[in-house]
Structure 1
Amino acid sequence: MLKGKICVVTGGGQGIGRTIVERFASENAEHVYACDMNIDAIKEAYENTTNVSPVLLNVCDREGIQALVEDIKQRHGRIDVLVNNAGITRDNLLDRMTEQDWDIVLDVNLKGVFNMTQAIAPLMIENNAGSIVTMSSVVGTDGNIGQSNYAATKGGVIAMTKGWAKEFARKGAQVRANCVAPGFVETPMTKDLPEKVIQYMVSKTPLNRMATSEDISNGVAFLASEQSSFITGQTLKIDGGLVI
């Protein structure tokens, strides 16, 4: 589905991001730029993968992002796929959440998505082709206790994506923007949760299990590929029926 594509994936060092990078690489993408703040993790993960380049990148570093885009443009002339996957959590109840925890989550999860897309979308529009897939969450569509900051960012990226879908296509450019909204996923971010919390969430999920990273990467790969060429401005929930 992704043969010959030039792809950029943020948060590509572990969890869902790593699975997405591996999926793209296995589907013969021409090249995948796996961006993460943990350079050791991405170097180790992709040291034997010829079509993946590990990139040390902070999505809050606008100069670093622009330098990466210019480098890719010089090498390939285009970017076909952007996956905005990088994200963090700093959970707490509203009356206990610090301003610092609010600010850092918005900076990474919301402004980081803006930074990456603002830098890459013009190149896609110039080439009249591209797919942007941003990781949202069912928390962004339906909220969750103790996640005011996270919910705000994940709802925000859905709203931005809808606006971008209209904006990019207003002069006929074939540049699409969509979101994926996972439910409860087996990742390094959830592995340390108490067992009773995991069992509670599984019990609330009609398909009676947590999602795997592969479940999520399947949806991302579909939206990144030409198989979804007439889909834009949408949010694909991959949650096992958790939110219906």
Structure 2
Amino acid sequence: MNNNVTLPRSLGVLRIPDASLVDITEINRFGPGEICVISTGSQGEPRSALALMASESSKWLAIGPSDTVILSSHPIPGNENDVSRVLNGLVKLDAEVVHSGLHDVHATGHPRQEKLKTLLDVLNPEWFVPVHGEYRHLAANARLAQSTGISAERTVVCEDGNQIPLDDRGVRRSGTVPAGHLYVDGILDDLGSAVLHTDDTVTADTLQRTIRRATGQFVDQRTRRRPMIVPVVVET
């Protein structure tokens, strides 16, 4: 979070006077109406600052009736339970909670095409390998790069497991390596350099979470409706 504020301030994109920034250790010197806290945790991450506040586990902040909490994001499919847990925790503390299900407060973290074009124009890369997203997103990103002048021969669209050597000849696909889902039955504190293999035996709890996540993603993609009802598999 510090980096996300420091970098745009140094570039002049985020204009916040030094006098308006307060270290978290000093917020008790101010009244509730004088402080705006920018926090991690909009996706309900268990150890994020917002989740700790919602569970009354934060050593810095105690949420109460005088506080308003704004979540400026949609829950990512699969994170609904974690986000709901945080929302419920905040409401139990009598905070006013504002989220995208109630008001238009969603602030996307994804740039639009014109901003991506600007980035490509500034960087002017010799090679382009789009990452992050499903294959259709990668292909669309590749076409966008080609529209800025990067040749198709220097645009490499990959899938999970593709090997991409980078040498004097450039960038290319060269073979594949195993890349799939890995289920860990239990808790591993330190994987170290151990090689893990998938197991045919998956615990019921792991299977239930996998089914819930897959079902939630399917329903969200098909209906685009919120709230979304996700069936829960109960072992009998």
Task: Give the TM-score, by structure 2 length.
Answer: 0.25
More helix by share: 1
More strand by share: 1
For CA contacts below 8 A with separation 6 or more, give which structure has more relative contact order: 1
Larger radius of gyration: 2
